[in-house]
């Protein structure tokens, strides 16, 4: 699999990949298939997110990760997410794990450490642990259209997000979901489990429960959902029109009267705890610059592009006018010739690379 094009005689960002390029049939290309260990190590180093509690423990910034875990457990317990009971025979027990993620600012610096407890959704059984799972998300086309309308009218654009959104979705009576105790935070006796009362992250129905709860709250405030996008809500108060766009927990709001936006946020905050981010400057990996003097809004993904370039060891790649060799011709003969080659190809992060590029294509 061809992943990176390099100049003849130039080295790559990783020393192990330099030898690979030198030994290739054509030294313009680096063949990464079969070097999945090197790639995985590079991704881990560049992304910086531990994959387990053990990895977090040996990190230099373990205290920051531990603080994030303590904060998460505190939020879950305060929200009444579960009750601890003795293990029940004959019940499906869903596993759980910690997911660690560094949150970044628009300038590429670290915003905060986030430790999140998620369930093993693959252990859920349809008809036993869940039924409905559908949850709509805001279309990027809707997001760009709202920004265009705001720019045309020079409206203010505010951003906010909800805190622990899925905990606002209750599972309801008769819904029995049992989960193993969180690693490192076992509270009961040996063999104890948690009976979930709230829609914890990772559950198949968590997004659906949160959307239903949010939809009910927003419509009770006098808004109505648009026919084109179920995540865009509009309120008409005399001649003023506040517009709210929601992407799971990330929200953007604009309108003809700034006071109405502030009032609307206060009403939502009374229902769900939210973090007011004030004028929008960052959403879904997109940097947003709003210039009221020129009535212009700019969307930029420079920080995101730099991150994925570093992620795939392309920081030293040279510029080319074409994405690949113009004379290159590929056929079925280039496919893996053995089961071993096929297994090696599966470990090359090709899908991840293409998906990362596709997001920039559809977003900006």
Is 220 in the same domain as 326? Answer: no
Is 81 in the same domain as 126? Answer: yes
Q: Give the chain's length.
A: 364
The total number of structural domains that make up the chain: 2
Q: What predicted TM-score, i.e. pTM, was given to this entire model?
A: 0.67
Residue 191 lies in a domain: yes
**Looking at the predicted structure, is the pLDDT value of residue 322 above 60?**
yes
The percent of residues in the chain predicted with pLDDT above 90, rounded, is: 7
Chain-centroid distance of CA 209 in Å reads 19
Is 41 in the same domain as 108? Answer: no
- Pairing label, strands 250-255, 156-162: antiparallel
* Element (DSSP H or E) covering residue 356: helix 350-363
Is 57 in the same domain as 39? Answer: no
Give the pLDDT of residue 232.
92
Give the pLDDT of residue 155.
92
Is 238 in the same domain as 92? Answer: yes
Q: By residue range, what is the domain housing residue 27?
A: 2-45+311-348
* Other CB atoms within 10 Å distance of the CB of residue 33: 18
> What is the mean pLDDT of the segment spanning 276-287?
84
Is 27 in the same domain as 58? Answer: no
Q: What are the tokens at 91?
A: 């019940």
> What is the mean pLDDT of the segment spanning 212-238?
88
Inter-residue contact 113 to 67 (CB < 8 Å): yes
Inter-residue contact 44 to 59 (CB < 8 Å): no
**Looking at the predicted structure, is the pLDDT value of residue 261 above 60?**
yes
Give the pLDDT of residue 11.
35
Query: For 23-35, what is each residue's pLDDT tens digit?
Result: 333 333 333 333 4
Is 332 in the same domain as 205? Answer: no
Is 73 in the same domain as 169? Answer: yes
Is 12 in the same domain as 78? Answer: no
Is 154 in the same domain as 269? Answer: yes
Is 125 in the same domain as 268? Answer: yes
Is 134 in the same domain as 166? Answer: yes
Give the pLDDT of residue 188.
67
Residue 356 lies in a domain: no
> What is the mean pLDDT of the segment spanning 167-177?
78
- The helix/strand/coil state of 146 is helix
Query: Phi and psi dihedrals of 9, rounded to 5?
Result: 90, -10
* Angle subtended at Cα 247 by Cα 265 and Cα 94, rounded to the nearest 5 degrees: 110
Residue 343 lies in a domain: yes
Residue 362 lies in a domain: no
Q: What is the 3-state secondary structure (H, E, C) of 188-209?
A: CCCCCEEEECECCCCCCCHHHH
């Amino acid at each position: 699999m061809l992943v990176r094009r390099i100049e003849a005689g130039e080295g790559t960002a990783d020393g192990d990949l330099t030898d690979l390029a030198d030994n290739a049939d054509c030294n313009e290309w680096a063949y990464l298939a079969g070097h999945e260990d090197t790639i995985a190590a590079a991704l881990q180093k560049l992304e910086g997110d531990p994959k387990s509690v053990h990895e977090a423990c040996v990190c230099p910034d373990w205290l920051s990760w531990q603080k994030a875990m303590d904060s998460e457990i505190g939020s879950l317990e305060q929200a009444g997410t579960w009750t601890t009971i003795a293990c029940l025979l004959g019940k499906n027990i869903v596993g759980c794990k910690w997911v660690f993620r560094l949150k970044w600012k628009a300038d590429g610096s670290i915003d905060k450490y986030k430790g999140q407890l998620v369930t093993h959704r693959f252990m859920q059984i349809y008809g036993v642990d869940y039924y409905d799972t559908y949850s709509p998300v805001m279309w990027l086309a809707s997001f760009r259209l709202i920004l265009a309308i705001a720019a045309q009218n020079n409206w203010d654009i505010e951003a906010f997000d909800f805190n622990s959104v899925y905990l606002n979705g209750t599972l309801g009576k008769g819904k029995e979901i049992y989960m193993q105790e969180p690693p490192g935070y076992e509270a009961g006796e040996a063999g104890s489990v948690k009976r979930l009362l709230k829609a914890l992250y990772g559950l198949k129905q968590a997004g659906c429960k949160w959307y239903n709860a949010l939809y009910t709250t927003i419509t009770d405030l006098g808004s109505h959902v648009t026919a084109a996008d179920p995540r865009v809500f509009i309120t008409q108060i005399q001649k003023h029109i506040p517009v709210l766009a929601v992407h799971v927990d990330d929200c953007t709001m604009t309108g003809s009267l700034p006071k109405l936006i502030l009032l609307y946020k206060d009403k939502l905050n009374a229902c769900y705890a939210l973090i007011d981010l004030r004028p929008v400057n960052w959403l879904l990996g997109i940097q947003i610059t709003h210039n009221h003097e020129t009535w212009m809004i700019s969307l930029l993904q420079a920080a995101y592009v730099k991150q994925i370039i570093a992620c795939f060891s392309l920081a030293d790649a040279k510029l080319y006018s074409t994405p690949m060799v113009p004379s290159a011709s590929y056929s079925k003969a280039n496919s893996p010739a053995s089961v071993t080659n096929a297994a090696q190809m599966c470990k090359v992060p090709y899908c991840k690379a293409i998906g990362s590029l596709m997001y920039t294509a559809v977003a900006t």
